[in-house]
Amino acid sequence: MDTIYLFIVVFLFLLAIFDLVVGVSNDAVNFLNSSIGAKAAPFKTILFIAGVGIFIGAAFSNGMMDIARHGIYQPEHFYFAEIMCIAVAVMLTDVVLLDVFNSMGLPTSTTVSMVFELLGGTFAISLIKVRADSSVGLGELINTDKALSVIMGIFLSVAIAFFFGMLVQWLARVIFTFNYKKRMKYSIALFGGVAATAIVYFMLIKGLKDSSFMTAETKAWIQDNTYALVGGAFVFFTLLMQMLHLLGVSVFKVVVLLGTFALALAFAGNDLVNFIGVPLAGLDAYTDYVANGTAAGPDGFLMSSLLGPAKTPWYFLIAAGAIMVWALYTSKKAHAVIKTEVNLARQDEGRESFGSTPMARMLVRFSMGMAGGIAQVVPVGARQWINSRFRKDEAIIADGAAFDLVRASVNLVLAGLLIALGTSMKLPLSTTYVTFMVAMGSSLSDRAWGRDSAVYRITGVLSVIGGWFITAGAAFTICFFVATILHYGGNVSIIALIALAVFLLIRSQVLYKKRNAKNQESETLQQVLKSTDSAEGLALMRKLSREELAKVLGFAGTNFELTVTSFLHENLRGLRRAMGAIKFEKQQVKQMKRVGTVAMCRVGNNTAIEKAIYYYQGNDFASELVHSIGRLCEPCLEHIDNNFNPLDAMQKGEYGEVTTDIIDFVKQCRQRMENNDYDDIEAESRRVGNLKERLSQLKRKELKRIQEHQGSIRVSMVYLTIVQEAQNVVTYTFNMLRVNRKFNSEYLPAK
């Protein structure tokens, strides 16, 4: 019997390795988004600095491990078997849940996930214990204060971080403006001194306060001499920053890289418990059971030993740090999460990752109304002066960066200060919440959310915030049921749930790769958005148009064939797959049209007036083509799903023949577009006429059959629908080819 618990402990540490990888993938955004977004240094340099911070933070981490031992449950009331059940449930839930968020590219809180998983698992086992023994109450088994403090921390950190992000960035921009290099002579030393002092203070208070080498005497000395340390650091760093500025070193870059190191160190030192705290608690429980509890058995030995402080062996900390650094360098999902936050905070317009929602539109309208009211109160002269400090056309932004170094510095310094302040006030602020909301507040204050992008950015912010609350609910609920299943299912349920978790992780990786390939941003689009020359912009827009419309034609050919073939062979699964692909493609086309509007501005006004109509027409025809295939698929899916009578043999044969030619026609048009080959387009025009005439004949033939009361009227109606939509597919495909030819020609054609 004891062998199974040894297996569980080993499995917990295997899950911890996965948890470290997915946890870093999620939390890397906290300390990398500002330095990467501003391109403060080469990517590998940023990763190296963050990696050093992670490794040092992990190596010195220890004090926070107690939360997994007795922070949520009261271990003196739980037996060894129950503690192991909770530990397995927490780790299984945590790995899968965090991986789901990483695959979606959304940052979430590893602290909240762990706390609510512990709460959910503990609640499940506690209900079982209370049911078996009514003399024990839930209040004696669960430490609800910790969970409530985390919930309060969520609300406080979101609101406070966003507000101060807006305020501090507005003040920084008024002082430095977007053309900050002209206004650094006297202010940069003070700014650098304050920033570096704040970061060092943050490292001492938040990053290293619970480290293994921080003795009680050392912490007491730091607390007694805090003001002297802060004052001395301010004077030292102010003088140092002035010297660096005189030597030509970018103080903003120094601040950004120092802040990156500090946040990475604090992340590893304080959040390591989220990944290995539960396995270490399980190991300590197993060690105590083997030494003292085998006589009582796993269901009779209470875990009072977990009330003691954690003493994590150094080799566990070193190994965890090494795994985290490796994950930081190799995880593609970490880069996806970083991209989400940087994209929401970027200064210019471009491809938006999110759509619009009613809530976002309402908030934009409310903000515009409030801004209009404030503008009427503020004197005209003051408004003009403030606007002169926010001239975005003067912005000094590195090539390919999302924002400048001023905002990156504010993000890191302010996030560090707020987290240090919350820690000193014993508030459980989440690093994820604070860094994300500071970044969003500073981007809003920097006027990065223009009227053409605000609704999409707000939707993104609301989606991320909503994900945080979903994390708490999902973590509690899933872990509750997993713990219940493990308790009643025994060893069989452990093996089954382990297999399920492995399957979900593998499946997640496969789906992520497929989705990432589909969502890969076009390199041509990136070149268009960076272009400043009108002629170059037009050439790139033509290339982009051919690429985008060719992809739509590729989708059309594949899914038209899938829909028709599945309908003729009564393949319900194929029709459902086609309908899912159509829904996804509709969103892609909508995004394509949005991005095209932004990109078209890069080609110059005169060229845009002359050529834009053809570009927009091509996008409109692409949208109509996708919707036409959707209108074709929907009645087919409903017909087969309801098990209605199929088409007769003659209908299948006639429609099958013409659709084979339609599929070939769509493929031919796609090849012409990809190769920019529009020679002898009249041949395609004649082919269109032939296909449409054949489809018209099928319609006339079917109408005659209806008049003669031959066959089922229901079958005839769906048949007429798919014939009509096939005509539309042919029409819109050829229209896309024609307008793309006009867009790609140097001169307007005569016709």
pLDDT averaged over 10-residue windows placed end to end, the chain, 751 residues = 79 84 73 82 86 81 65 83 89 83 69 84 89 76 72 75 88 84 77 85 64 70 81 90 87 88 77 80 87 84 81 80 83 65 62 66 74 78 82 75 83 80 63 81 79 72 77 88 90 84 76 58 66 73 85 92 92 92 87 73 62 82 92 92 88 89 92 85 86 91 84 87 92 91 65 40
Q: Which of 177, 251, 200, 250 is nearest to 413 (CA)?
A: 200
Helix (H, G, I), strand (E, B) or coil at 646: coil
Which pLDDT belongs to residue 414? 85
Side chain identity at residue 194, one-letter code: V
In which residue are the tokens 């929401």 written?
Answer: 344
Nearest to 600 by CA among 612, 614, 589, 590: 612
Residue whose entry in the numeric block shows the structure tokens 């609704």: 455
Helix (H) or strand (E) holding 440: helix 431-445
Token pair belonging to 433? 């919440």
pLDDT of residue 632: 92
Under 8 Å between Cβ of 432 and 109: yes
Distance from C-alpha of 347 to C-alpha of 457, rounded to nearest angstrom: 11
Burial class from Cβ neighbours inside 10 Å (0-12, 13-18, 19+) for residue 544 reads buried
Give the residue from 677, 695, 700, 679 showing the smallest Cα distance to 731. 695
Q: Which amino acid is at 376?
A: Q
- Rounded Cα distance between 622 and 593, Å, is 10
How big is the CA angle at 42 (ends 41 and 45), to the nearest 5 degrees? 85
3-state SS, residue 298: coil
Instruction: Write the secondary structure of 138-199 as one string of H (helix), E (strand) and C (coil).
Output: HHHHECHHHHHHHHHHHHHHHHHHHHHHHHHHHHHHHHHCCCHHHHCCCHHHHHHHHHHHHH
Contact status, residue 418 vs residue 438, Cβ threshold 8 Å: yes
Look at residue 211 in the predicted model and tell me its pLDDT: 58
Q: How far apart are CA 457 and CA 162, in angstroms?
A: 14
Q: What backbone torsions phi and psi does residue 294 show, to the nearest 5 degrees?
A: -65, -30
**Tally of CA atoms within 13 A in the half-sphere of 684 that contains its CB:** 26
First to last CA, the chain: 85
For the chain, what is the largest distance between any 2 Cα atoms, rounded to a whole number of angstroms? 100
Would you call 257 helix, strand, or coil by DSSP?
helix
Return the structure tokens found at 122. 């503990």
Nearest Cα to Cα of residue 30 among 3, 1, 50: 50
pTM for the full model? 0.70
- The tokens describing 91, both together, are 């780790």
Q: What are phi and psi of 425, to 5 degrees?
A: -95, 10
Structure tokens at 304: 């009072």
So where are the chain's domains?
2-514, 523-744
- Cβ neighbours for 675, distance < 8 A, ≥ 6 positions apart: none
Asked if 47 contacts 126 with a C-beta cutoff of 8 angstroms, the reply is no
Structure tokens at 586: 């509709």
Radius of gyration of the chain (CA): 31
Q: Are 58 and 324 in contact (CB under 8 A)?
A: yes
Is the separation of the CB atoms in 437 and 158 below 8 Å? yes
**Contact of 422 with 153, CB cutoff 8 Å:** yes
683, with CB counted inside 10 A (0-12, 13-18, 19+), is exposed
What are the tokens at 505? 């992780």
- Whether the Cβ atoms of residue 101 and residue 112 lie closer than 8 Å to each other: no
- Which tokens belong to 162? 């966003």
CA 745 to each of CA 259, 461, 539, 595, 612: distance values in angstroms, whole numbers, following the listed order: 52, 42, 11, 22, 13
Token readout for 659 is 């659709």
Residue (of 490, 545, 104) closest to 333 by Cα position: 104
Residue 732 pLDDT? 94
Structural tokens at position 530: 């960076």
- What is the model's pLDDT at position 437? 84
At residue 359, the 3 state secondary structure works out as helix
Beta-bridge partner residues of 79: 302
Count of residues making up the chain: 751
Spatial separation of the C-alpha atoms in residues 426 and 224, rounded to whole Å: 18
Distance of CA 98 to the CA centre of its chain: 11
Q: Is 73 helix (H, G, I), strand (E, B) or coil?
A: strand
Backbone angles phi, psi at 284, to 5 degrees: -65, -40
Query: Tell me, what's the pLDDT at 747?
Result: 47
CATH of domain 523-744: 1.20.58.220
Residues contacting 633, CB < 8 A, separation 6+? 559, 563, 575, 578, 579, 582
325-363 b/e (C-beta count within 10 Å ≥ 16 → b) = bebbeebebbbbbbbbbbbbbbbbbbbbbbeeeeebeeb
Reading the block at residue 310, the tokens are 């954690």
Between CA 342 and CA 346 the distance in angstroms is 6
How far apart CA 725 and CA 271 sit, in angstroms, is: 56
Q: Which two tokens stand for residue 621?
A: 């025809």
- The two tokens of residue 682 are 């009249």
pLDDT of 734: 92
522 secondary structure, DSSP code: P
For residue 79, the SS3 value is strand
CA atoms within 13 A of residue 561's CA, in its CB half-sphere = 14
In the structure encoding, which two tokens stand for residue 399, read together? 């090539």
